C-alpha cells in the first residue's frame, strides 16, 4: 500500500469554508464566531454543503429519519461491517469553527486521501454527521447519535420542542433532512472520532495530541421557580417570594458543593441560562427558570451530588417561600473507550513521533453513544488560548489538526483492513 498522507491544507480550507456558514461577528471583540444552531437555516446550509462534499467524494449518501447524514465508501468485502467515523456540524449559538467540524471534515479528508491514492480497504468506511450534538436548542445533547445507537427512541427525539414549541420533527421536515433510512444502526466494526480537546490540559502539558480514555458523566436539569411578583420599593423583604433570589441561592449552593470537595476535584456545575419574569427593574421576579449542567468523572459522586442538590433545592424553596420544580433534560453516565482501539491510536502516535498522553473528556461527544454498541475511541487535538471553546476564540493550529487527522487516517485504515 502507498504511504498515505492527508492534505492538511485541503482539510483547513474545508474547515474555513464550513466555518463561513452561519458566521457572525462578536460585537464586543469583532471576532468571527459560528452560529449553526441545530436545524436552523444555517445548519441546513452547512448540512447541504457537507452532503455535497460527501457526494463529490464518491460516497453513497443516506439521511436517516433523525437527520443523521452518512457517506459510505465501499470496501473490497462490501458485506463486512463498516468502520465508522464522524462528529457533528451543529454548534452552540456562540461557537467556533472546530467543535464538531474537525471530526466530520477530518473523516472526509481521510476519504479524499484514500480516493487520491486509489486505495480500497477491506471493510467499507462510513463517515457521518449527527443531529443536534450540542443540545442547545432542543435540550438533549447527542440527540442524533443517541437515537442511532439506541439510547433515545426516534419518536421521543422527534417530539422534542425548542423554546418556541417547534419540534425536532417539524424542523427536520422543513429543512429537508428528515430522511427515510432507519436511524438504529447495526453495530459497526469500530467507531473513531477526532475532536478538539476544548480545554487547557494538552497544550499546558506540551502534548501534541491526546488519546481519550472516556467521557465523564453529564447531568442537565431545567428548573422552574414560582414565587410572587410585587413592588420592588414597597414590599418588605420578609414578605417577598422572590424567584430570582432563589436562583442566586442555587448558584451559591452549587459553589459550596464544589468547594466542599465532597464530589471530587473534577466536579463542575454551571447555571447557563436564566429567565426572570417579568424581568423589570422595579418588580420582584415572580417566576424564574434556569438550567443546571453538572459534570463529574465519577457516576457515584454524580449520584450523590444530585441527591444533595435535590435536598438543597427543597431547603431554598422553603426558606424563600417559592416553589421549585425540576425536569431532567439529559443524563449520561461516564463512558470508557475501548482499550484495544485506544492502544491502536497510541501506537500510531508513537510511530509518528507525536507527543501524546491519555486524557478524559470533559465534554460530551457522539463517540460516547457508539461506545454502547461497538468498540469506540477518540483522538483529541489541543486548542490554543487555554483550549477555549464554545466561544469564537476557539482555535487549533493547522499543524495540530493535520496531526490529529493523520492519526485518524492511520487508525481507520488499520481497522478497516482487519478481518
User: Which listed range, 66-74, 94-102, 238-246, 305-313, lies at the site for Mn ion (CB under 5 A)?
Assistant: 94-102
Instruction: Give the start-end residues of each E strand in 134-281.
Output: 190-196, 209-215, 217-226, 230-231, 268-270, 274-277
For ligand GLV, which is the closer residue by CB, 43 or 141?
A: 141
If contact means CB under 5 to 8 A according to the sort of partner, which of ligand GLV, Mn ion, none does residue 100 touch? Mn ion
Contact call for residues 302 and 266 (beta carbons, < 8 A): no
- Of 111, 363, 367, 378, which one interacts with ligand GLV (CB under 6 A)? 363
3-state secondary structure of 249: helix
Say how far apart CA 349 and CA 355 lie, in whole Å: 7
100 contacts Mn ion (rule: CB under 5 A) = yes
Q: Nine-digit cell at 4? A: 498515505
Buried b (16+ CB within 10 A) or exposed e, 26-44: eeeeeeebbbbbbbbebbb
C-alpha distances out from residue 226 to 19, 87, 213, 315, 317, Å: 41, 39, 42, 15, 9
Among 90, 126, 134, 410, binds ligand GLV (CB under 6 A): 134
In the complex, the smallest distance separating the C-beta of residue 174 from ligand GLV, rounded to whole angstroms, is 24
- Cell 462578536 belongs to 26
**Residue 162 interacting with ligand GLV (CB under 6 A):** no
364 touching ligand GLV, by CB under 6 A = yes
User: What sections of 70-217 are H helices per DSSP?
Assistant: 101-117, 143-149, 154-159, 168-175, 201-204
- Which sign, positive or negative, has the C-alpha torsion 41, 46, 49, 52? negative
- Binds Mn ion (CB under 5 A): choice among 90, 99, 193, 242: 99
Site for ligand GLV in 94-123 (CB under 6 A): none
CB of 336 to Mn ion, least distance (A): 19
DSSP 238: G
Stretch that binds Mn ion, among 54-62, 99-107, 135-143, 233-241 (CB under 5 A): 99-107
- Of 272, 418, 413, residue with least CA distance to 345: 413
Residue 75 binds which entry of Mn ion, ligand GLV, none, CB below 5-8 Å type-dependent:
none
Among 141, 162, 193, 208, binds ligand GLV (CB under 6 A): 141
CB of 54: closest distance to Mn ion in angstroms?
19
- Quote the least distance from Cβ 141 to ligand GLV, whole Å: 6
- Among ligand GLV, Mn ion, none, what binds residue 132 when CB lies within 5 to 8 Å by partner kind? none
Q: Does 132 bind Mn ion (CB under 5 A)?
A: no
Interface residues toward Mn ion, by CB under 5 A: 99-100
Interface residues toward ligand GLV, by CB under 6 A: 134, 141, 363-364
Amino acid at each position: 500500500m502507498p504511504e498515505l498522507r492527508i492534505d492538511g491544507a485541503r482539510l483547513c480550507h474545508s474547515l474555513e469554508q464550513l466555518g463561513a456558514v452561519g458566521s457572525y461577528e462578536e460585537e464586543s471583540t469583532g471576532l468571527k464566531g459560528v452560529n449553526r444552531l441545530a436545524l436552523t437555516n444555517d445548519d441546513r446550509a452547512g448540512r447541504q454543503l457537507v452532503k455535497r462534499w460527501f457526494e463529490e467524494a464518491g460516497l453513497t449518501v443516506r439521511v436517516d429519519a433523525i437527520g443523521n447524514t452518512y457517506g459510505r465508501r465501499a470496501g473490497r468485502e462490501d458485506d463486512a461491517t463498516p468502520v465508522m467515523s464522524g462528529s457533528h456540524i451543529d454548534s452552540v449559538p456562540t461557537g467556533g469553527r472546530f467543535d464538531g467540524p474537525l471530526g466530520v471534515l477530518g473523516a472526509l479528508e481521510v476519504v479524499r486521501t484514500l480516493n487520491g491514492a486509489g486505495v480500497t480497504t477491506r471493510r467499507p468506511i462510513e463517515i457521518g454527521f449527527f443531529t443536534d450534538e450540542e443540545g442547545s436548542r432542543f435540550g438533549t445533547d447527542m440527540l442524533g447519535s443517541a437515537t442511532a445507537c439506541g439510547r433515545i427512541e426516534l419518536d421521543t427525539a422527534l417530539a422534542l420542542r425548542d423554546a418556541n414549541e417547534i419540534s425536532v420533527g417539524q424542523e427536520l421536515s422543513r429543512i429537508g433532512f428528515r430522511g427515510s433510512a432507519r436511524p438504529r444502526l447495526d453495530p459497526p466494526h469500530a467507531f473513531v472520532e477526532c475532536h478538539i480537546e476544548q480545554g487547557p490540559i494538552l497544550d499546558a502539558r506540551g502534548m501534541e495530541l491526546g488519546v481519550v480514555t472516556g467521557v465523564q458523566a453529564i447531568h442537565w436539569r431545567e428548573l422552574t421557580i414560582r414565587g410572587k411578583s410585587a413592588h420592588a420599593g414597597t414590599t418588605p423583604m420578609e414578605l417577598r417570594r422572590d424567584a430570582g433570589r432563589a436562583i442566586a441561592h442555587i448558584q451559591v449552593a452549587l459553589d459550596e458543593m464544589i468547594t466542599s470537595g465532597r464530589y471530587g476535584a473534577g466536579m463542575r456545575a454551571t447555571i447557563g441560562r436564566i429567565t426572570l419574569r417579568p424581568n423589570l427593574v422595579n418588580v420582584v421576579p415572580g417566576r424564574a427558570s434556569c438550567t443546571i449542567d453538572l459534570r463529574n468523572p465519577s457516576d457515584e459522586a454524580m449520584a450523590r451530588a444530585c441527591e444533595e442538590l435535590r435536598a438543597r433545592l427543597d431547603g431554598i424553596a422553603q426558606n424563600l417561600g417559592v416553589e421549585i420544580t425540576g425536569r431532567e433534560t439529559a443524563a449520561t453516565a461516564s463512558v470508557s473507550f475501548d482499550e484495544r482501539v485506544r492502544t491502536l491510536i497510541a501506537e500510531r502516535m508513537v510511530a509518528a513521533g507525536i507527543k501524546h498522553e491519555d486524557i478524559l473528556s470533559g465534554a460530551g461527544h457522539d463517540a460516547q453513544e457508539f461506545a454502547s454498541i461497538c468498540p469506540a475511541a477518540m483522538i483529541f487535538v489541543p486548542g490554543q488560548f487555554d483550549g477555549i471553546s464554545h466561544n469564537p476564540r476557539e482555535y487549533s493550529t493547522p499543524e495540530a489538526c493535520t496531526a490529529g487527522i493523520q492519526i485518524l487516517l492511520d487508525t481507520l485504515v488499520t481497522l478497516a483492513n482487519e478481518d
